């Protein structure tokens, strides 16, 4: 059995003008020590999927269906106290912007020690020892001094290292990282990503990496979910999907990667933009932007189905797959 | 990267300079209203003195000197603690005010305690459970409360607690004792009982404001990423609310609080009058009725000074306790 099994997860936002369905039938699994990528444009529902796992959806949002099974227990059916013993303990999170993640008026030390003490009966001295060891592990210089620093005394990169150290404090089995390098200076993005990969490997921690960067996904993860307008539209091993995408949207994302076409033409962005939740067209949500759109795509929502090694939700997947094969042999 | 002691000194210097400047302006205003309050000689001598004698006295007192000369003289005396003698009490105006200062301070402290102990828990509660019926009721009452004048609250308190229920005395300061060298009502039951209604009345103006301020600050803080991260760390709710969120909520509230203490002093005039509380505000109103110009000016300057000092102290404290403001000064 998988460590984490998300099955048919639905998330909705009740609003004055009706209910917005933000996630529809999202399913995926994560094994121990496995690294899963979730990719898609901004607004696809990646963060919602992450926050739904530990039941931290922002205000009117709620899980309206599906199960989230972690170590055999359904997180959606858990009471607050039981859930709290999992949050930050068995499943940790890393947020996008380290400048906003740490509390500005509490020291790094306070924010680390409290995390340990929330989950273990442990003295302050012992917690401090563990915290400093973790700070050293994420290569923060002079960790004893940094322990007493306030967040603003550290650079963005250093703060994200602190957040990573906090995520690792309790030896979790899963870390969910929501665009952990997007807000950082480009020069240190790769460094932080490499650090995370290294730590996940050495501690055998499972990683759910949310990003809109397929390049990072291909370097770090073993499997990937591609999301569009609240649905998983393609899923499988990272290698298979990068080499032979079967959904036109995934194919578009890959074509837009800079290194793929620097010799060919300029950035190959998918034309148009993702619809907002209240403007999703009937049929396949991607159909207005799709080069392979057919009459059926405008009527019928494609279900996720197995095709070769991966699963894809597209009526024209075979056609796209054939194209991918051609593209591969031509380059 | 930490801001050093030099930065603190520079900041302190700037703040002190600002405070001095404000005091200078207040003294100028205080001094210039002198001419508008009638002829000081009439107050001193009455009507039966001849014009020649009057002129001689004017010269002698320097009342015929140019404005700036008179102001300079006023200022040089003022910095030595001499704001002239009260016409009515025939004593230094500052001494007269000092005698009444403790009584007013008691009232302000009483009201501040009431405000702090009610607005913080209520503001927090309304932020944490914004849709509960208690929160709606508190918010509804507070919006009405803001618009009720102090004297109405005061009269209502007197009617209910003194006249109808007979629980509380309706006027005066009660017994005072001086275990620490100054006469105060804080150290005996009678004094404290007398303090209750005036403090409630004075607090009632600021209370709704502070509840609403704390609520809205806290609601904003609760939406922030670092609070979401605190939840994601699995902290218990009391730690998230009362450490992570409250500390960030109260920092801006402190600044507003400092300003409001000054405003509260202005309201003591009304409260003290209704309750015949023998403080500075009551004294001021009497001085206005008697056209006791030196006492009026001294009051304005003393209240101005208290206002400026509290604001400066609050600013400095705020800078010291808030780590993020410390770099803001550094970065500029
Ligand atoms: N509090 C909210 N109320 C209404 N809609 C929301 C709320 N939070 C997120 N959404 C919607 O849910 C969708 C998915 O958001 P999100 O998961 O943050 O996307 P991303 O893939 O960029 O992380 C977006 O279309 C967004 O508009
Ligand atoms: Mg997001």
pLDDT of A20 higher than 50: yes
Alpha helices in A62-123 (DSSP H): 80-84, 98-101, 108-119
Ligand 1 touching residue A42 (CB < 6 A): yes
Mean pLDDT of all residues belonging to chain A: 92
Among protein residues, the one whose CA lies closest to atom 24 of ligand 1: A43
> Does residue B159 sit at the A interface (CB-CB below 8 Å)?
no
**pLDDT tens for residues A282-328?**
999 999 999 999 999 999 999 999 998 899 999 999 988 888 655 44
Ligand 1 touching residue A252 (CB < 6 A): no
> Does residue B117 sit at the A interface (CB-CB below 8 Å)?
no
**Residues of B with CB below 8 A from A95's CB?**
225, 228-229, 232
- What is the best residue among A20, A57, A180, A231 to mutate for testing ligand 1's pocket, by most ligand atoms within 8 Å of CB? A20
Structure tokens that stand for B112 in this block? 């501040």
> Does residue A152 sit at the B interface (CB-CB below 8 Å)?
yes
Quote the pLDDT of residue A309: 87
Ligand 1 touching residue A20 (CB < 6 A): yes
Mean pLDDT of all residues belonging to chain B: 85
CA of A42 to the centre of ligand 1 (A): 9
Structure tokens that stand for B187 in this block? 């150290």
- CA–CA gap between residue B47 and residue B292 (Å, rounded): 17
- Residue in B233, B322, B324 nearest the CB of A118: B233
Quote the pLDDT of residue B1: 44
Smallest CA-to-CA distance from B274 within B126, B107, B141 is with: B107
Quote the pLDDT of residue A293: 92
> With contact defined as beta carbons under 8 Å apart, do A220 and A37 qualify?
yes
Give the start-to-end residue ranges of the domains of chain B.
1-87+291-332, 93-212+264-290
Q: Ligand 1, residue A22: give the atom nearest the CA.
A: 12
Which of B234, B239, B241, B254 is the best substitution to test chain A (most A C-beta atoms within 10 A)? B234
- Residue in B226, B233, B247 nearest the CB of A115: B233
Q: What residues contact residue B291 under an 8 Å CB cut-off, 6+ apart? A: B37, B38, B43, B87
Which of B2, B222, B226 is the best substitution to test chain A (most A C-beta atoms within 10 A)? B226
Q: What is the mean pLDDT of residues B282-288?
A: 92
- CA–CA gap between residue B252 and residue B315 (Å, rounded): 10
Q: What is the mean pLDDT of residues B96-124?
A: 93
Q: Which of A150-159, A313-322, B128-137, B155-164 has the lowest mean pLDDT?
A: B155-164
Ligand 1 touching residue A43 (CB < 6 A): yes
**pLDDT tens for residues A82-118?**
999 999 999 999 999 999 999 999 999 999 999 999 9
Phi and psi angles of residue A256, each rounded to the nearest 5 degrees, phi first: -85, -10
- Residue in B225, B233, B248 nearest the CB of A100: B225
Query: Percent of chain B beyond pLDDT 90?
Result: 37
List all residues of chain B from 240 to 299 with a beta carbon under 8 Å from chain A: 243-244, 247-248, 251
- Residue in B223, B226, B235 nearest the CB of A101: B226
- CA–CA gap between residue A181 and residue A191 (Å, rounded): 9
**pLDDT tens for residues B3-30?**
567 777 888 888 899 999 999 898 888 8
**Residues of A with CB below 8 A from B240's CB?**
none
- Residue in A54, A97, A114 nearest the CB of B232: A54
Quote the pLDDT of residue B232: 97
- CA–CA gap between residue A305 and residue A84 (Å, rounded): 36
| CA angle (A184, A189, A192) in 5-degree steps | 105
Alpha-carbon distances, residue B235 vs A73, A172, A177, A314, B128 (angstroms)? 21, 15, 19, 43, 16
- CA–CA gap between residue A74 and residue A77 (Å, rounded): 6
Here the ipTM equals: 0.93
Quote the pLDDT of residue A56: 93
Quote the pLDDT of residue A129: 97
- CA–CA gap between residue B41 and residue B57 (Å, rounded): 8
| Bigger pLDDT: B324 vs B93 | B93
What is the number of alpha carbons within 13 Å of residue A327 lying toward its C-beta?
A: 18
> Does residue A85 sit at the B interface (CB-CB below 8 Å)?
yes
> Does residue B224 sit at the A interface (CB-CB below 8 Å)?
yes
Residues listed for chain B? 332
> With contact defined as beta carbons under 8 Å apart, do A199 and A206 qualify?
no
Q: pLDDT band for A331, please (50, 70, 90 cuts).
A: very low
pLDDT of B322 higher than 80: no
Question: What's this model's pTM, rounded to 2 decimal places?
Answer: 0.86
**pLDDT tens for residues B32-84?**
877 666 666 666 666 677 778 778 877 877 777 888 888 888 888 888 888 88
By CA distance, what is A95's nearest residue in B? B229
Among protein residues, the one whose CA lies closest to atom 27 of ligand 1: A43
Phi and psi angles of residue A6, each rounded to the nearest 5 degrees, phi first: -95, 125
Smallest CA-to-CA distance from A237 within A229, A228, A226 is with: A226
Contact A153 B327 (CB under 8 A): yes
**pLDDT tens for residues A27-56?**
999 999 999 999 999 999 999 999 999 999
- CA–CA gap between residue B28 and residue A330 (Å, rounded): 87
Contact B243 A106 (CB under 8 A): yes
| Bigger pLDDT: A234 vs A258 | A234
| Bigger pLDDT: B295 vs B173 | B295
- CA–CA gap between residue A136 and residue A144 (Å, rounded): 9
Ligand 1 touching residue A206 (CB < 6 A): no
Among protein residues, the one whose CA lies closest to atom 25 of ligand 1: A43
**Residues of B with CB below 8 A from A85's CB?**
234
Q: pLDDT band for A74, please (50, 70, 90 cuts).
A: very high
Give the start-to-end residue ranges of the domains of chain A.
100-169, 243-326
To the nearest whole angstrom, how far is the Cα of A102 from the nearest Cα of chain B?
5
pLDDT of B2 higher than 60: no
Ligand nearest to the CA of residue A15, numbered in listed order: 1
- CA–CA gap between residue A303 and residue A24 (Å, rounded): 11
**pLDDT tens for residues B162-218?**
888 888 887 888 788 887 777 788 888 888 888 999 999 999 988 999 999 999 999
To the nearest whole angstrom, how far is the Cα of A242 from the nearest Cα of chain B?
32
CA of A267 to the centre of ligand 2 (A): 23
Ligand 1 touching residue A273 (CB < 6 A): no
Which of A105, A115, A117, A180 is the best substitution to test chain B (most B C-beta atoms within 10 A)? A105
By CA distance, what is B247's nearest residue in A? A105
**Residues of B with CB below 8 A from A134's CB?**
none
By CA distance, what is A104's nearest residue in B? B324
- CA–CA gap between residue B36 and residue B42 (Å, rounded): 14
Quote the pLDDT of residue A72: 92
- Residue in B235, B239, B324 nearest the CB of A152: B324
Query: Percent of chain A beyond pLDDT 70?
Result: 95
Q: What DSSP string runs through B19-50?
A: HHHHHHHHHHHHHHGGGGG--HHHHHH-S-S-
Q: pLDDT band for A271, please (50, 70, 90 cuts).
A: confident
| Bigger pLDDT: A262 vs B130 | B130
Quote the pLDDT of residue B37: 65
CA of A35 to the centre of ligand 2 (A): 18
| Bigger pLDDT: B67 vs A164 | A164
**Residues of B with CB below 8 A from A58's CB?**
223, 228
Largest CA distance in chain B: 87
| Bigger pLDDT: B104 vs B39 | B104
> Does residue B6 sit at the A interface (CB-CB below 8 Å)?
no
């Amino acid at each position: 059995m998988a460590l984490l099994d998300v099955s048919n997860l639905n998330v909705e936002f009740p609003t004055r003008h009706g209910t917005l369905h933000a996630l529809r039938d999202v399913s995926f699994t994560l094994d121990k020590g496995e690294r899963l990528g979730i990719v898609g444009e901004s607004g696809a529902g990646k963060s919602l999927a992450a926050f739904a796992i530990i039941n931290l959806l922002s205000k009117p949002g709620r899980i309206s269906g599906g199960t989230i099974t972690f170590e055999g227990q359904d997180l959606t059916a858990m009471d607050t106290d039981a859930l709290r013993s999992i949050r930050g303990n068995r499943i940790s999170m890393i947020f996008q912007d380290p400048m906003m993640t740490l509390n500005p008026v509490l020291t790094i030390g306070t924010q680390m020690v409290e995390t340990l003490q929330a989950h273990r009966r442990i003295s302050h001295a012992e917690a401090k020892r563990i915290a400093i060891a973790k700070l050293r592990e994420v290569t923060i210089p002079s960790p004893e001094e940094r322990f007493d620093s306030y967040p603003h005394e550290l650079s963005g990169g250093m703060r994200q290292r602190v957040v990573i150290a906090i995520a690792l404090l309790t030896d979790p089995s899963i870390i969910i990282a929501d665009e952990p390098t997007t807000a950082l200076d480009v020069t240190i993005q790769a460094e932080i990503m490499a650090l995370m990969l290294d730590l996940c490997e050495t501690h055998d921690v499972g990683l759910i990496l949310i990003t809109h960067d397929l390049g990072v996904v291909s370097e770090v993860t073993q499997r990937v979910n591609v999301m569009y307008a609240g649905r998983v539209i393609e899923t499988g091993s990272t290698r298979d999907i990068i080499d032979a995408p079967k959904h036109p949207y995934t194919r578009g994302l890959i074509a837009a990667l800079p290194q793929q076409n620097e010799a060919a033409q300029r950035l190959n962005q998918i034309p148009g933009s993702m619809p907002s939740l209240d403007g999703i067209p009937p049929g396949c949500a991607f159909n207005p932007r799709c080069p392979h759109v057919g009459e059926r795509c405008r009527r019928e929502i494609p279900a996720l189905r197995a095709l070769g090694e991966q699963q894809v939700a597209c009526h024209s997947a075979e056609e796209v797959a054939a194209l991918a094969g051609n593209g591969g042999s031509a380059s | 990267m930490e801001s050093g002691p030099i930065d603190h000194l520079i900041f302190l210097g700037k703040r002190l300079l600002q405070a001095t400047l404000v005091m200078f302006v207040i003294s100028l205003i205080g001094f210039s209203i002198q001419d508008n309050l009638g002829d000081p000689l009439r107050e001193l001598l009455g009507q039966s003195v001849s014009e020649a004698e009057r002129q001689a006295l004017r010269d002698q007192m320097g009342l015929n000197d140019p404005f700036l000369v008179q102001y300079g003289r006023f200022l040089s005396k003022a910095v030595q603690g001499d704001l002239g003698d009260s016409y009515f009490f025939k004593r230094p105006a500052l001494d007269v005010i000092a005698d009444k200062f403790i009584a007013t301070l008691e009232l302000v402290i009483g009201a501040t305690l009431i405000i702090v102990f009610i607005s913080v828990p209520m503001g927090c509660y309304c932020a944490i459970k914004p849709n509960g019926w208690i929160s709606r009721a508190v918010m509804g009452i507070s919006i009405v409360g803001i618009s009720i004048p102090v004297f109405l609250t005061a009269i209502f308190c007197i009617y209910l607690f003194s006249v109808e229920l007979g629980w509380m005395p309706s006027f005066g300061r009660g017994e005072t004792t001086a275990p620490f060298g100054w006469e105060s009502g804080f150290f005996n039951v009678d004094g404290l009982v007398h303090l209750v209604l005036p403090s409630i009345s004075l607090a009632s103006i600021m209370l709704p404001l502070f509840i609403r301020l704390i609520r809205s600050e806290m609601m904003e803080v609760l939406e922030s990423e670092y609070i979401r991260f605190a939840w994601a760390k699995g902290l218990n709710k009391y730690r998230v609310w009362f450490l992570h969120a409250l500390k960030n909520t109260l920092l801006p509230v402190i600044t507003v609080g400092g300003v409001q203490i000054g405003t509260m002093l202005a309201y003591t005039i009304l409260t003290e009058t209704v309750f015949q509380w023998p403080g500075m505000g009551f004294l001021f109103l009497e001085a206005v009725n008697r056209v006791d110009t030196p006492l009026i000016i001294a009051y304005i300057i003393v209240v101005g000074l208290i206002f400026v000092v509290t604001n400066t102290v609050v600013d400095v404290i705020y800078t010291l306790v808030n780590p993020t403001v410390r770099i803001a000064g550094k970065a500029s």
